[in-house]
């Protein structure tokens, strides 16, 4: 378990941390910019996800609230699966011959343009490849943290009672 936790922590830190800042705009207090830091917390109860560690596994996945990994799961794959735990979809399709796309909700409530999601993923070196689209690709985009901006915005609006707006920069 310690080995798996170390690999996961290293993957999450190197691929997700220091990538995004949240810009919070308050009509009364002005603008504040804060870094987004991802930190998994391992608990015995009240978990959001169960980390199921297999001795060997062909394919890691997040299904419902179970994250299937193995002793050999790489740092990168831990980071990709953690992306799913944060609510991100695969930016590729599971079905051959079907031209799927992915759209994200922006913090302003509108939908993003459609992102191509080809069968089996993109070439990691493709211009539009990301950590959610291509095996081994380390590119992350602001859209990968928009759901955090949306959640923070809703929380601040509810707590403060003003039209706070958040964005990812
Ligand atoms: Zn995935």
**Ligand 1 centroid – CA 75 distance (Å):** 14
Average pLDDT, the chain: 96
Question: Measured between alpha carbons, how far is 168 from 35 in angstroms, rounded to an integer?
Answer: 10
- pLDDT classification of 20: cutoffs 50, 70, 90: very high
154-166: average pLDDT: 97
**Ligand 1 centroid – CA 147 distance (Å):** 17
**Ligand 1 centroid – CA 93 distance (Å):** 10
pLDDT the model gives residue 11: 98
What is the number of alpha carbons within 13 Å of residue 108 lying toward its C-beta? Answer: 3
Evaluate if pTM is beyond 0.85.
yes
In this predicted structure, the answer to whether residue 13 has a pLDDT above a threshold of 90 is: yes
**Ligand 1 centroid – CA 15 distance (Å):** 15
106 Cβ partners below 8 Å, 6+ apart?
A: 112, 143, 146
| pLDDT tens digits, 31-84 | 999 999 999 999 999 999 999 999 988 789 999 999 999 999 999 999 999 999
pLDDT the model gives residue 58: 75
pLDDT the model gives residue 128: 95
**3-state DSSP call for residue 50?**
strand
Instruction: Tell me if 60 sits within 8 A of 43, measured CB to CB.
Output: no
Question: Measured between alpha carbons, how far is 131 from 89 in angstroms, rounded to an integer?
Answer: 11
In this predicted structure, the answer to whether residue 118 has a pLDDT above a threshold of 90 is: yes
What is the number of alpha carbons within 13 Å of residue 65 lying toward its C-beta? Answer: 5
**Ligand 1 centroid – CA 121 distance (Å):** 10
Q: For a pLDDT cut of 90, what percent of the chain falls above it? A: 94
**Ligand 1 centroid – CA 26 distance (Å):** 35
pLDDT the model gives residue 47: 97
**3-state DSSP call for residue 149?**
helix
**Ligand 1 centroid – CA 44 distance (Å):** 25
Instruction: Calculate helix-pair angle for 75-85, 2-16, nearest 10 degrees.
Output: 70
pLDDT the model gives residue 98: 83
């Amino acid at each position: 378990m310690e080995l798996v936790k170390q690999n996961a922590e290293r993957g999450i830190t190197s691929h997700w941390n220091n990538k995004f800042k949240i810009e919070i705009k308050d009509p009364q207090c002005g603008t504040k910019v804060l870094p987004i830091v991802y930190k998994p917390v391992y608990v015995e109860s009240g978990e959001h996800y169960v980390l199921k560690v297999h001795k060997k596994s062909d394919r890691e996945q997040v299904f419902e609230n179970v994250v299937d990994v193995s002793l050999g799961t790489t740092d990168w794959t831990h980071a990709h699966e953690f992306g799913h735990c944060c609510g991100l979809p695969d930016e590729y399709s599971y079905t051959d011959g079907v031209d799927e796309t992915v759209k994200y909700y922006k913090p302003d409530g509108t939908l993003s343009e459609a992102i191509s999601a080809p069968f089996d993923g993109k070439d990691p070196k493709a211009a539009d490849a990301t950590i959610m689209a291509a095996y081994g690709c380390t590119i992350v985009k602001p859209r990968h943290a928009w759901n955090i901006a949306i959640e923070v915005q809703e929380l601040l609006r509810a707590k403060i009672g003003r039209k706070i707006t958040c964005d990812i920069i």
